[in-house]
Amino acid sequence: MASTPEVIKADTVLADNTAQSGVADESITAEAATETNTEEAITGNKIIPTEELEIPGANVAVKEEIPAEYENLVIADVNDYVNVRAEANTESEIVGKLYDDSVGTLLKEENGWYQIQSGNVTGYVKAEFCVTGEEAIALAEEVGTRIATVNTTTLKVREEADIESSVIGLVPMGEELEVIKEEEEIEGWVKVSVEEGEGYVSTEYVSLRTDFVKAESREEEQQRLLAEAQARAEAQQAAQQAIASNSNSTTTVPVITGDSEMGVAVAEYACQFVGNPYVWGGTSLTNGADCSGFVMSVYANFGVSLPHSSTSDRTQGYEVEGGLANAQPGDLICYSGHVAIYIGNGQIVHASSSKTGIIISNADYKKVLAVRRIF
């Protein structure tokens, strides 16, 4: 009876004929395989293409797999931004902006232009202002932010990459943490930054992704600027009312100065609670709050509603261009898994940890992800 047609691995090539031919039951070596026809090889009763054979020990060059998010990358390499145009010429309509270190997908190349897709923008950018290929892949490692999203109810952050290691913090479901790059990654673990410091979480309980800044369409830019203006106006009105109601306060706080009267008022108010306890999940300025709970409750006193989430705080108000260098009192200083209030002179006030409570620290004590201005 004929054998069932199937692809047979090289190490079992002679097995079907062993009994009839007396050939020893052993696998075909890589050397023997090279002597077969270059287009096809015989396996048992079936002839199949050699590319379908799996040959242990064969000296085959394997191309290193490129992560999906790194394929066909285009990254802007400019001081500010490069215009994205509808057609491949400088007279064409501008449909968006690709900011420095922002990332797109290369669709095609045309006479010194790249057609790209980035965010909600599809159009052309001058090739001379972008990098592609291996250079883009290398740059992506620097400009991309690897994010770990917690997918369990409460995730333990450990001091070392070991389930027997001490727990330094707890992170709730849905919280996003920035992954800290290490020269040697530890299988099953990633290093992250949280309120209590740096630690490790199991990859079994997080979803990993790499975030890149994408192009902004003209419509998106207009909507952003309008939303920022409205947010400033509403926050200023609420702050003016709060300043009037707090004008008789006699509490001693650090001397804080800044361009925004409302921002200074927020910073001064926040500093009143230095020394009070840190409580994970808490929102009480006197009995205990965590970092986002502290920020939320401080701003609530000024009529501003903020989320109880350090991740969500990164989208509140509007972005301060230049980051920490241009921060003003009252600004939100956002870190991985943490948020604080800037008080000037390179310092922040924040609900730091259960060990320290609410304290004043240097704003650059760890990497700043964003600076957001509410007023």
Q: Report pLDDT for 39.
A: 33
Give the pLDDT of residue 182.
73
Q: How many CA atoms lie within 13 A of 95 on its CB side?
A: 18
Task: Answer yes or no: is pLDDT of 82 > 80.
Answer: yes
Cα-Cα-Cα-Cα dihedral sign, residues 153, 159, 165, 167:
negative
If one counts every other C-beta atom within 10 angstroms of the C-beta of residue 303, the result is 15
CB atoms within 10 A of CB 160: 14
Calculate mean pLDDT across residues 164-175. 91
CA distances from 194 to 131, 177, 252, 355 (A): 33, 7, 31, 14
Please check the confidence at residue 5 and state whether its pLDDT lies above 60.
Answer: no
pLDDT > 90 in the chain, percent: 48
Cα atoms found within 13 Å of the Cα of residue 126, Cβ hemisphere only: 12
Asked if the model's pLDDT at residue 240 lies above 80, the reply is no
pLDDT digits (tens, 9 = 90+) for 204-236: 999 999 888 899 999 999 988 887 777 667 666
pTM over 0.85: no
| Domains of the chain as residue ranges with CATH | 1-62 (no CATH), 68-143 (2.30.30.40), 145-211 (2.30.30.40), 216-373 (3.90.1720.10)
Task: Render pLDDT for 30-80 as a digit per residue (tens, 0 to 9).
Answer: 333 333 333 323 334 444 343 344 444 444 444 456 666 677 999 999 988
Residue in the block written with tokens 């990254």: 75
Length of the chain: 375
Measured distance CA(10)–CA(120) in Å, rounded: 49
